[in-house]
Every structure is written in structure tokens, then in C-alpha cells.
Chains A and B, each alone.
Chain A
Amino acid sequence: MSNSHADGAPPKRTIDVVNASLKRRYARERRFRLVGLTAVILGLTFVGLLFADIIAKGHTAFVQTYIQLPVTFEAETLDPAGTRDPETLARANYQAIIRDALRSEFPDVTDRRGTRALGSMISVGAPSHLRDMVLANPDLVGTTREVWLLADDDIDMLMKGHINRDLPESERRVKDQTVGWIEQLEAQGRIEKRFNTIFFTTGTSREPELAGIAGALMGSFYTLVLTLLISFPIGVGAALYLEEFAPKNRWTDLIEVNINNLAAVPSIVFGLLGLAVFIAIFGVPRSTPLVAALVLSLMTLPTIIIASRAALKSVPPSIREAALGVGASPLQTQMHHVLPLAMPGMLTGTIIGMAQALGETAPLLMIGMIAFIVDIPSGFTSPTTVLPVQIFLWADSPERAFVERTSAAIMVLLAFLILMNLGAVLLRRRFERRW
């Protein structure tokens, strides 16, 4: 540094230059931090708003309105022959005993219109509930019991305040007469909201009060298990081969570029491929976890391969050299030393890929998953839907009560996604090693 000046002016030292610009540099840094912080806060606010909206709309779906009625299990109606034969009991007219129970509760309703309105307060699923009760305990026949019966979705909406009682009658789905009955039941404490077990234990239904997510959950479970079984071994194997064994030449470069590209392909394309190849050529049955898993495996493979290769890259070469040095074969080196060390990274990638597969709908549109399937799937080849598709179908249903159920199903899906991502984070924390 040459600070020798002849004119006597104080020499300009580096520290002065730094000091002069210091204020500006600090300001710049503060600005950057502020922008970053604002972005984070903004992002969190939107996530918060989304969650608040979903929870506000959906939390009411976890309770369900029930109406208590003294039901007389009339032997005359249910079992005229008196044999208590399960076959007869199963086929008996349980609708009739509900009608009788309502009639004795509201004796002043006699006209046809009124009786119909009265009957529509109780869910169409209530008779089968009574049937199950009787089949489980045939001694009920001939007795009178207080039974909590599932209410219709309109009544449920009224009780939860989604139908405003103050509106003029013509603008309400529930008419004044019915509201009067409900108020009478409320005064007697015969109507209450209880935890909605139906939502978690049954398949879908066209009646909101009977609709559940168990079918879709099981479908998602079977699909994910199969996707994992298919994509994990193939993905890890491919990564291991490409990263450690394959010669580096133009072909492997091409493959690498293509794998990276595949990760960015819109998922609907995989659905079209599934339709054209798996269903049309190989004859894999439509709407089953099997075909869904095949398609979703194609979609998650690039994610798993890329994550696995990154994990393999992060294992230091000294490990390989040491293993080879003490006489391990290349395959032993990989299997005994490199793979176990890379496993946490690979698993993290796989879990994220699985979470992606769990939330995916687009490729499933093409392979028959947008279907109404009531029965809970029993295996990999029984027809099923998955959670996101169920949400899509409910969001498209006209009944008001499906709005809250849609949000509730979204909450369940989100819970699973958060759990899976949490699992990925914990795995990384627990097993990741830094060199």
C-alpha cells in the first residue's frame, strides 16, 4: 500500500474507506433481513389463514346430531312368526318402527305432508342401525328402548347453525314446522351433538350424515404401501448403480438428464401413461390400489432417485477407500458401508416422495379413481378411491353438509402429510452424520 503523498493531506487509509461505507452496508443488510422476515411472516400468515379457514369450516364435522326417541321394537312388525330367525329379523321393516316412534312423539301430526316431513328428520341410515341392534341382541324384540337415532343432514346443519333459523321460511331448506319440532326436542333434551364416529368408520355415501373417510383412508393406505414396495427398491437400486457403478459416459449423462426432467413432468402425464400402458396393454384392473401404485411409483421414482444419489454423494470417499483397502469387494463396500450411511438421506427423500404421492389426484383421474365406491377396500385389487379424490368428489357435491365434511377430510389429509414430513425431519435429525 502506498500512502506516501507529498501534498500533506492525510493519507486515506483502508479503514477510513471501510468506515465510510459501513453505515450503508449495515443498512443494506438490515433491509435484506427485513425483506426476508416479511416474506416469512407473509407466508406463515397465509398458511395460518388457510388452516384457520379449513378448521373453522371443518371442525363441526367431527360432531353429529342425534335425536333420542322411545323406539318400540314391535314383535308384530319385526317378527310376526315369533321365530327370532336372523334372516327374518334382517329383512324386517325398521322404517316402520321409526315412523311409529315419531308418530307417538308428535301425535298431532296426521296429514301426509306432515308425516313425510317428520320422517325426513331421521337419516335414511337409521333403519339399518336399528337392524344391527336387533341382530346383535334379538331379545330387544317386543321391548321399548330409548334410542339415539342419527338425524338427517338438514337437521344437522340447522343444529350447527349452518342454516339460519331467522331467515324467512321460503328461503330455508328446513321449514318452520320442522324447526318447531326441533325446538320441542331441544327443550326435552332429546337432541344432541355427539362425536362423529361414522366419519371415521364408514365408506363414502350420498347422504352427508352417513359419509365417512374410512374407505378412502384404506385406499390411500394400500396404495402407499404398494407404491413404497415398488418405488423404494427400484429407486435406491437405480441411484446406487448410476452413482457408484455405471461408467460415466454420454449414455449415463442422458439418463441423468432425463431423470431430472421426469421429476418436473406434470403428474397428469403419468396418469395418461398408466391408462395407455398398465390398463390398456397389461390389463391391470381399473380403480384399484395396484394400478394407482404403479402410476404413483413412476411419479415418485425421480424424487427418490435424485434424493438417493445426493445421499450417496455426501458419503465421503474415504469410507469407500478404507473398505476397499481392507479387502471388501465393490458390492460389499456399497452394501456394508456406503448404503447404511446414505440410508437416512434416502429415507427422507422417500418419505417426501410418499407424501407427494398421498396428496396427488391428477394422475388418478385417468385410471378410474374418480368413482363412487361405498365398500371399504379389502386388498390391493378391490376398487377404491384415495383421500384427495374423496375430497375432490365431496367438494363437488351439492349438499350443504358436504362443505364441512370436505374441510374435515382435508384436515385428516393434512394431519397425515404433517406426520409424514415430521417423520422425515426426525429421521434426518436422528441418523444424519456430518463429516
Chain B
Amino acid sequence: MKKTIIAAAVTLAAASLSTQAMARDSVWIAGSSTVFPFSTAVAETFGRESSFPTPKVESLGTGGGFKLFCSGVGVDKSDISNASRAIKKSEFDQCQENGVTEITEVKIGYDGIAIANSKSGPALDLSLGELWMALAKDVPNEDGKLVANPYKKWSEINKDLPDVAIEVLGPPPTSGTRDAFVELAMEGGCDSFDSVKALKDSDKDMHKAVCHGIREDGAFIEAGENDNLIVQKLIANPNAVGVFGFSFLDQNADTLQGAKIGGVEPTFETIGDGSYPVSRSIYFYVKNAHVGTIPGIQEYVAEFTNDKAWGPDGYLADKGLIALPDDMRASVAEQAQALKPMAAPAK
């Protein structure tokens, strides 16, 4: 009896291994967790409305996605890589080395990072500099010397800010949102101090360390990758401020208010026209060598770059995607549908 079970298990395993060599019939997308909600929405619509099977979308993070994408050509490698930043030169070179020579870059829109608190708390109007002062590990004192961040309350930074303790819930270093927040908000903020800005020319590494260093004395709390959790905690604690993707602010507009950054409120419009400073572009990358081998890649790209999906009134806008400007969208769509391979990135 048991022998038969073992035999069955072995045959089963063997049978399944042999099917592996067969071609894959569905598109395989992997990468950023920021692009995941958009990519899945397109995949689902694509699966429902076309004759192709629904693509499989994996959430591995931007870096993990590129690692898989650039590991070679074949049915056991992903076809499309989602990214919440542009591909790096090192990743592009890795691709080239492994035979992934032709890659089509598709910029799909913008994603804002909201700095928000509960509606029952005070409304915030911060400059990037103030945000940096609140969260940096070391800040310059009156003489321009760097000292460990002494600020405990927002009002100590600027007396117009509320008189409550600085308590910011944000993503951990493994998150793409954290990377973008550090690059866009923190780096933008620290350069508003001349003494720190001067470092950029004299000591680049030091400048980076000062600008990117987030305080570890309890004022900044790493609240985990789950943005919903941050939202829940903000509702429970009106004095806390959270850092998370704009789509979560949009979905929770009844309980949360976004802080104005440099006087600009985070909205679809301000992120789309670039006036809201903490926003970034998001992308996906197509492996041209797989087109024609794996059915449906080109059709998926066409579905994504269709105005009914990524346009300002498309279904991705409902999911929180901020569309590219009209002329840009048209040109990106044209290049994407023609699968025009990208040139090597500069850095």
C-alpha cells in the first residue's frame, strides 16, 4: 500500500518535471510591489477580454525582478519586469551579459509618496527642509556643524508647526517606497542647507550619508512593508505621521489628510504635473527575445498602453496610477507597441 503511494509520488514528480520543458503559454511578469497593483489590474482585464490566459504577476521588488529578468532567455525566466525606478547600468549590463540584449522600456506613469496623518490630528504644511530636519540622523546646528538630531517636537523645528512629538511611521529599508522617499524627500530637503550642500562637492560619500541617514532614536518607526498597517496605526494615533504610497491616501481620504509639501497638496493633478515634489516615475521592461515565443506579450503591452487602461480616465487611474501627460503617453505607447529596444542607461 505504502509502496504504491511512494511510487505514485515519484511518477508524479517525474511527470511534472518533464512538462517543465514544454513551452509556457502564459505571460510571466515579476518585479516591483509598487507596480504590482497596476500590473495585476491590466493582467486581469487582459485575461478576461482576450483569448490569452491571464498572465502571472509576481511581487518580488524592483531589484529582485531585474535579477530574474536579466538572468537569461528561456521559458523559466520572466518576460516582463516591473520597476518603481529606471533600470540601472549595472542591471542593464547584467542583462546584456546573459543574452538579454533587446529590452523595451515603458514608462507607465507616476506614483506619489504621501506624508499623511489622521484627520483628527493637526494639518501639516512642511517644506522638504523641515521634513529632513525632523527625520535626519544628524542635522547642522547654528554654526553649521553636524550634531545628532535634537528635535523632539515639530514646533522645535518651526514654531508654526504643531506642538506635538515627532512620530513618523514609515517603510523599512527593504522597501522601494523607502528608497524613493529617501532619494526624493530626504535628499531634496538636505540640499536646502548650504553647509550640507557644500559637502556634495567636497565629500560625496559624506553628503550621501548625511542626506540619506534616518534617525534611529525612536522618532522614525519602521512600520513594515504593509501600507494598510500604517494607515490603521495612523487612525489609532492622531499625532503620528505616516509615509506611504499615494494610492493608500486616495483610498482612505475619509480618515487621512496628506501633508502639504512645499505648499503643494498631494493630488492626482499635482503629482501628474510634477509640482508635488515627492513623486517618481514607474516603469515596466519587456524582454524582446520572448516576444513570439511566449504568446500574448505584445498584446499585454498593447492593453497596458491603451488609454482605457493607463489614460487619465482609465481603469488604472482608479487604482491610483497618475497618468503621463497626453503627448508623452502617445509617444511612449507608439514605441512600446513597436517594441523599440532601449539604449544603455547612463548610470
By a beta-carbon cutoff of 8 Å, the part of chain A in contact with chain B is 116, 124, 128, 163-164, 167, 171-173, 205-207, 226, 229-230, 233, 282-288, 290, 368, 370-375, 380-381, 383, 393, 395-400, 403
Contact = CB atoms under 8 A, between A and B. Distances in A.
Interface residues of B, number: 50
A163 B253 CA distance: 11
A279 to B, nearest CB: 8
B315 interface: yes
The listed residue with most B CB atoms (<10 A of its CB), out of A116, A171, A372, A373, is: A372
A284 B250 CA distance: 41
B155 interface: no
Given A173-B251, A205-B44, A396 B228 contact: yes
B13 interface: yes
Contacts, number: 110
B218 to A, nearest CB: 26
Contacts of A172: 253-254
Contacts of B16: 284-285, 288, 290, 380-381
Contact of B44 (A233, A371, A374): A374
Contacts of B36: 372
Nearest to B36: A372
Contacts of B213: none
A230 B251 CA distance: 45
A372 B2 contact: no
B9 A171 contact: no
Contacts of A284: 16-17, 20
Nearest to A335: B2
Interface stretch (B52-60, B145-153, B322-330): B52-60
Contacts of A124: 45, 315
B236 interface: no
Contacts of A116: 313
Contacts of A372: 36, 39-40, 43-44, 56-59
Max chain B Cβ within 10 angstroms of own Cβ: one of A226, A287, A393, A399: A399
A24 to B, nearest CB: 46
The 5 closest A-B pairs by CB, nearest first: A372-B57, A372-B40, A374-B54, A371-B58, A381-B16
Contacts of A374: 43-44, 47, 54
B76 interface: yes
B343 interface: no
A396 B226 contact: yes
Given A173-B251, A372-B58, A380-B12, 12 more contacts: A226-B12, A285-B16, A287-B56, A371-B57, A371-B58, A372-B56, A373-B56, A375-B47, A398-B228, A398-B245, A398-B320, A400-B252
B58 A398 contact: no
Which of A171, A230, A375, A381 is packed against the most chain B CB atoms within 10 Å?
A: A381
A370 B5 contact: no
Interface in B5-26: 5-6, 8-9, 12-13, 16-17, 19-20, 26
Contact of A370 (B12, B60, B245): B60
Contact of A171 (B225, B245, B254): B254
B247 interface: yes
Nearest to B39: A372
